[in-house]
Amino acid sequence: MKKSVITMMLACVVCSSQAQKTLQDGQMPQMPPFPEIPAKMPIGSVPTGDSKSFAEVQLDIPITYGPYKANWESIEKNYPGTPEWLRDAKLGIWVHFGPQAAGESGDWYARNLYKEREDHKAYKNHLKRYGHPSEVGYKEVLRDWNPTKLDPEYLTKLYQKAGARFLMIQGVHHDNYDLWNSQYHPWNSVNIGPKRDILREWVDACHKYNMRYGVTFHHEYTWWWWQTAFASDSKGDKAGVPYDGNLTLEDGKGKWWEGYDPRLLYGIDLREYETVDAMAHTGWSPPKAGIFSRHLDYCKWYATQWALRMMDVTAHYDPDFIYTDGTVQGPFTGDGTGTGYKSNAMQTVMADYYNRLLKTRGKVDAFSIIKFRNPTNGAVNTAEFDFPDSINASQPWIREAPVGDWFYAPGFTYDSDSMIRFIIEAICRDGNAALNIPMRPDGSIEDACVTMLEEVGQWMQINGEAVYGSKAWRTLGEGEIVNGKLKKLPGGGLGKQHADFKFTPQDIRFTVGKNGALYAFTLAVPEAGSQVTIHNLKKGQEKVKSVSLLGCDNKLKWRQTSEGLVISCPDKLDFATSLVFKIAIK
């Protein structure tokens, strides 16, 4: 053989060995064994590796056969675009529910129950409800959690009546507890706790009511989030007694959790890396950007298990979208919430998901949410709480917030005005809205919350044509200017400050409906017989053909002047929160 031919053959062998491995029909990847863990080093003594020079690791995970490969270039090239159903749906309800609700301490109870140093309310609540976290930790919360009043069918119907057209169902939070019959993770709701496949119950309810649904995954930064569980009290009778995150598989012999490795729940002690321990005892921040370079085998195992758990859900629960939490450009980026490792885990999951949809549905009519990611074909963006100051039509996005907090605590304010205004603030900027409804530990919701949802549903029933399928107009709105910017609903979880926040009828937002009509939302209901002036429609701008009020059969008086479109309101106004004017443009 000629040397060039041999060289070509060798090159083909190399290419073949580097090709994406694929799965046979009905096959799922195998989980690699848990790796050896190096001996611990003193807290804060090891610098993290440089994430910029660390090459992204290509995980050796076989995926469903198809055109999508586990890289961004392939995903962006093949993805047909975000399905139209997301714009049509506009409003979703977050089912941000799990065992952390048991603490009745708001968000991040699992992490915060170990925060004795900070005298955290979750730590104090845990002492009263369960005991000391060296003896009774979060694993016992999982054991005892039993949401006997959780009724996904009832709640899905209630949410649909409130106007929601999709659900965002929590699959696993930072606590690392899977809410489904997990193939790759033993700490799940079928094995421990309620002994129920909670995700399956929600999926079945969505199918019954023809509701789109996605599954959310928050377990990427579990490994640094859980580091509080490896600490101990700093003072008192239990000073220096390790919390239960330090327990081993062997420690479980003869106990209720025998056979369940605590490392698979809490992860491993990574406090040797600089800032990991210090940042674990703050309110939020992830550790310093970098790579957990003394634990690369564990990092690869961790990223692989992260991906396989998501692939398990896409294969067996057929979601309309998947969601990953974070603050940077994706999971496992080596910085921000992706600190610790760099890999193509997210691309692997997405490629498998989209290829699988081609086989099962014949098309990719789904999407993947990567929180805060820059515009990328194949991905949808979300962000929490606040709204951008201008229209954002560069990519599909969802603005998300909880009513009260992400997990239940007593004393939340349930206010339909706030929820409706949140929806309006999102859609006028060309986005979508998703709001978490807090659920008690037993799976029920408060009566005041039911009333709030019913009131939102009544408003949506009247004004839905201005919401569903809408897009932004040439400007998002008009009204009072505060510090050089249009006044808007405050950020944060919806609560008393939002219920008390004052708008006037001259604070107005706009959308364009699927029918081409312009809709103007007043953020407060004007007095009967008063006038509303829309300054963006003064003479010389778009010529108005007709004006009507949704939910009102009376013909309105209106005129275009040099000041704007002046609309005379009816003498009787039996409306709540916001009027919506339908404006036909010539």
Q: What local confidence, expressed as pLDDT, does residue 7 receive? A: 38
Whether 336 and 228 share a structural domain:
yes
Q: Is residue 472 part of a domain?
A: no
- Over residues 411-421, the mean pLDDT reads 98
Domain CATH code at residue 520: 2.60.40.1180
Identify the domain boundary among 419, 445, 466: 466
User: Which three-class secondary structure string do you get for 501-548?
Assistant: CCCCCCCEEEEECCCCCEEEEECCCCCCCCEEEEHHHCCCCCCEEEEE
Q: Is residue 216 part of a domain?
A: yes
Cα–Cα distances in angstroms (integers) from residue 278 to residues 133, 138, 274, 333, 570, in the given order: 19, 21, 8, 21, 61
Residue 198 is encoded by which pair of tokens?
A: 């909670």
- Over residues 40-63, the mean pLDDT reads 98
Q: What local confidence, expressed as pLDDT, does residue 26 receive? A: 85
Whether 488 and 385 share a structural domain:
no
The answer to whether the beta carbons of residues 445 and 438 sit under 8 Å apart is yes
Q: Is residue 521 part of a domain?
A: yes
- C-alpha 519/C-alpha 61 separation (Å) is 49
Cα dihedral 474, 476, 479, 480 sign? negative
Whether 353 and 490 share a structural domain:
no
Q: What local confidence, expressed as pLDDT, does residue 73 receive? A: 98
19 — pLDDT class (breaks 50, 70, 90): confident
Q: Is residue 31 part of a domain?
A: no
Whether 169 and 301 share a structural domain:
yes
Q: Which amino acid is at 139?
A: K
Whether 386 and 493 share a structural domain:
no
Output phi, psi for 532, to 5 deg.
-120, 130
H helices within 162-293, ranges in order?
198-208, 222-225, 263-266, 276-280
Q: Which amino acid is at 543?
A: K
Q: Is the pLDDT of residue 204 over 50?
A: yes
Q: Residue 70: in which H helix or E strand, if any?
A: none
The answer to whether the beta carbons of residues 396 and 351 sit under 8 Å apart is no
Q: Residue 373: in which H helix or E strand, if any?
A: none
Question: What single-letter DSSP state applies at residue 568?
Answer: E
Q: Is residue 135 part of a domain?
A: yes
- C-alpha 52/C-alpha 58 separation (Å) is 16
Q: Is the pLDDT of residue 535 over 80?
A: yes
Q: Which amino acid is at 442?
A: D
Q: What is the pLDDT of residues 98-138, one digit of tens each?
A: 999 999 999 999 999 999 999 999 999 999 999 999 999 99
Q: What local confidence, expressed as pLDDT, does residue 364 receive? A: 98
Q: What is the pLDDT of residues 387-401, one digit of tens each?
A: 999 999 999 999 999
Q: What local confidence, expressed as pLDDT, does residue 383 receive? A: 82
Q: What is the pLDDT of residues 131-151, one digit of tens each?
A: 999 999 999 999 999 999 999
Q: Is residue 149 part of a domain?
A: yes
- C-alpha 524/C-alpha 477 separation (Å) is 14
Identify the domain boundary among 441, 466, 491: 466
Of 101, 96, 160, nearest to 435 by C-alpha is 96
Q: Which amino acid is at 264?
A: L
Whether 498 and 413 share a structural domain:
no
Q: Is the pLDDT of residue 291 over 80?
A: yes
Q: Is 129 exposed, middle or buried (0-12, 13-18, 19+ CB in 10 A)?
A: middle
- C-alpha 453/C-alpha 455 separation (Å) is 5
Computed on alpha carbons and rounded to an integer, the radius of gyration of the chain in Å comes to 26
Q: What's the domain range around 501? A: 477-585
Cβ neighbours, 10 Å, residue 90 = 25
Identify the domain boundary among 437, 466, 495: 466
Whether 454 and 508 share a structural domain:
no
Q: What local confidence, expressed as pLDDT, does residue 18 receive? A: 56
Domain count across the chain: 2
16 — pLDDT class (breaks 50, 70, 90): very low
Output phi, psi for 314, to 5 deg.
-65, -30
Whether 383 and 459 share a structural domain:
yes
Q: What local confidence, expressed as pLDDT, does residue 519 receive? A: 99
Query: In this predicted structure, which of 3-17, 438-452, 456-470 has the lowest mean pLDDT?
Result: 3-17
- C-alpha 286/C-alpha 227 separation (Å) is 11
Whether 511 and 457 share a structural domain:
no
Residue 379 is encoded by which pair of tokens?
A: 């991905």
Whether 311 and 167 share a structural domain:
yes
**Residue 521 β-bridge partners:** 509, 580
- C-alpha 401/C-alpha 197 separation (Å) is 26
Dump strand ranges (E) for 140-200: 166-172
Question: Given phi > 0 = left and psi -120 to 50 = alpha, else beta, which region is 479?
Answer: left
- Side by side, the strands of the sheet bearing 477-478 are 477-478, 508-512, 518-522, 580-585, 544-549
Q: What local confidence, expressed as pLDDT, does residue 384 receive? A: 85
Domain CATH code at residue 402: 3.20.20.80
Those residues with Cβ within 8 angstroms of residue 280's Cβ, 6 or more apart along the chain or in another chain:
111, 224, 225, 227, 228, 231, 271, 287
**Residue 64 β-bridge partners:** 23
Question: Given phi > 0 = left and psi -120 to 50 = alpha, else beta, which region is 392?
Answer: beta
Q: What is the pLDDT of residues 162-203, one digit of tens each?
A: 999 999 999 999 999 999 999 999 999 999 999 999 999 999
Q: Which residue has the tokens 């929160």?
A: 577
Q: What is the pLDDT of residues 507-523, one digit of tens each?
A: 999 999 999 999 999 99
Whether 445 and 493 share a structural domain:
no
The DSSP code sequence of 254-299 is TSTTTT--THHHH----TTBTTHHHHHTSSSPPPPSSB-GGGHHHH
Output phi, psi for 476, to 5 deg.
-75, -30
Q: Is residue 42 part of a domain?
A: no
Q: What local confidence, expressed as pLDDT, does residue 4 receive? A: 42
320 — pLDDT class (breaks 50, 70, 90): very high
- What is the reported pTM? 0.94
386 — pLDDT class (breaks 50, 70, 90): confident
Q: Is residue 22 part of a domain?
A: no
- C-alpha 141/C-alpha 409 separation (Å) is 16
Of 300, 314, 355, nearest to 63 by C-alpha is 355
Residue 410 is encoded by which pair of tokens?
A: 């007593």
Cα–Cα distances in angstroms (integers) from residue 419 to residues 86, 92, 310, 464, 486, in the given order: 19, 12, 31, 15, 19
The rounded mean pLDDT for the chain is: 95
Whether 422 and 495 share a structural domain:
no
Of 404, 391, 369, 393, nearest to 495 by C-alpha is 404
